Structure 1
Amino acid sequence: MLKEQQILVAFGGNLPLEGERPLEVIERALSRLQDLGFSLNAVSSFYQTPCFPKGAGPDYVNGALSIGSDMAPTEILETLHKVEHEFGRERVSRWAGRTLDLDLLAVDDLILPDLVTQRHWVDLPLEQQTRQAPEQLILPHPRIQDRSFVLIPLKDVAPDWKHPVLGKTVQEICAELPKEEVETVVRL
């Protein structure tokens, strides 16, 4: 048996599913992850965050979790996508509203597929991010350091996790966020 890895996942949603509010959908999805064999190590508080781009839809409920598993990273991602699908996620366009979003942020301190590819996606200008998506799993997630709605909840569950490329902890990266961005992430 392989060693259980620390898996960091961001979660969110802003659309109802069959009459359930996003918060209720997320709570059921977290339970489903346990049914599929993940150990739930820590769950952040839930946060309300504005839709991006501003005014494009209802505010989001966001959070983060630390789970454990001995699955390979691609299998983890496939399982997260399966759960999203079970909870009504439709991948119509990037950054569209959704019933459930489960983003694989990191698996231990793995860098996938390699440092050069990971850095390419980290350094990709915003206007290209809206039109391009990687065809392979990139770890750590290339946008962690840019997103207050990911970092603030992640600080609840893994403040000392050290980004293997940036060499900074979640707590250190959070401290560098602009104050106006931090203020948009409101604990529920």
Structure 2
Amino acid sequence: MIVALGCNLPGAYTSREALLEAALAALPEEGLDLVARSSWWTSAAWPDASGPEYLNGVAIVRTGLSPSETLQALHRIEARFGRERGEANAPRTLDLDLVAHGRTVQDGDLVVPHPRAHERLFVMGPLAELASGWIHPVSGEPAFRLATTASVGLDARPGQPARS
């Protein structure tokens, strides 16, 4: 399973990196076991680049939860870290997106793989770093190729290396 993480507000934490590291540490409490994670990538706010810069990464996670249960778990973690859902693309303390869950799902608001992740360099770049040969279940394209054809967040760049 693949989870994209991002934030552009540190909330109660000293930095965006500290917040994202704490979010990774919270995954097991929700039945989501961290297998691997990318380095943190930075990118301008989107679609309004005047907002605070984003820090993003990708995690490979193992779970016995269904896609719906996984999404609910991710939303609980977001809420614990101060995420308030309001205006689309507004600055946020934590954004956790379910990118892939081993199969395709379309059930109401739940769409897996994430319908726009393949367009975002700040998702595909970290994923290609972590699992370059991962194959998108709809397009059939590998992560490394999707990173080269992304159309959103083209300023995204690796910044801070993954901790062991």
Is TM > 0.5 for Structure 1 vs Structure 2? yes
Whole-angstrom CA distance in 1 between matches of 2:13 and 2:112: 35
Q: Secondary structure at the match of 2:78?
A: helix
Question: What is the alpha-carbon distance in structure 2 between the residues aligned to residue 55 and residue 177 of structure 1?
Answer: 18
Q: Structure 1 residue 186 and structure 2 residue 157: aligned?
A: yes
Aligned letter for 1:81? Answer: H
- How much is the aligned-residue C-alpha RMSD, in angstroms? 1.6
Name the count of aligned residue pairs. Answer: 158
Aligned to 2:72: 78
Give the TM-score taking structure 2 as reference length.
0.90
Give unmatched runs, 5+ long, in structure 1.
1-6, 115-134
The answer as to whether partners of 2:119 and 2:149 remain within 8 angstroms in 1 is: no
DSSP 3-state at the match of 1:105: strand
- Return the match for 2:48 from 54, 57, 62: 54
Cα distance in 2 between the residues matched to 1:151 and 1:45: 12
Task: Detail structure 1 runs of 4+ shifted over 4 Å in the superposition.
Answer: none
Aligned with residue 135 of structure 2, among 155, 162, 183: 162
1:92-116 CA distance string (max 9 Å, x none): 11111000000000001x11128xx
What SS is found at the alignment partner of 2:97? strand
Question: Which segment drifts farther, 30-39 or 40-49?
Answer: 30-39
Aligned residue type for 2:18: E
Q: Which residue of 2 is the match for residue 144 of structure 1? A: 117
Displacement of 1:54 in angstroms is 3.1
Distance (Å, rounded) in 2 between the aligned partners of 1:104 and 1:85: 16
Aligned-partner residue type, residue 167 of structure 1 = G
Amino acid at match of 1:174: A
What's the CA shift for 1:56?
A: 3.9
Change (3 A) 1:41 1:19: closer
**Residue of 172, 179, 182 corresponding to 2:145:** 172
1:92 to 2:86 alignment: yes
Deviation at residue 166 of structure 1 after TM alignment: 0.4
Aligned partners of 1:86 and 1:74: how far apart in 2?
19
The match for 1:118 is none
Deviation at 1:58, TM superposition (A): 0.4
Give the % identical residues. 37
Which is strand-richer, 1 or 2?
Answer: 2
Is residue 112 of structure 1 aligned with residue 105 of structure 2?
Answer: yes
Tell whether 2:126 aligns with 1:153. yes
Task: After TM superposition, give the deviation of residue 19 of structure 1 in Å.
Answer: 4.6
Give TM-score scaled by structure 1 length: 0.79
Matched, 1:45 2:39: yes
Instruction: For residue 145 of structure 1, give the secondary structure of its aligned residue in structure 2.
Output: helix
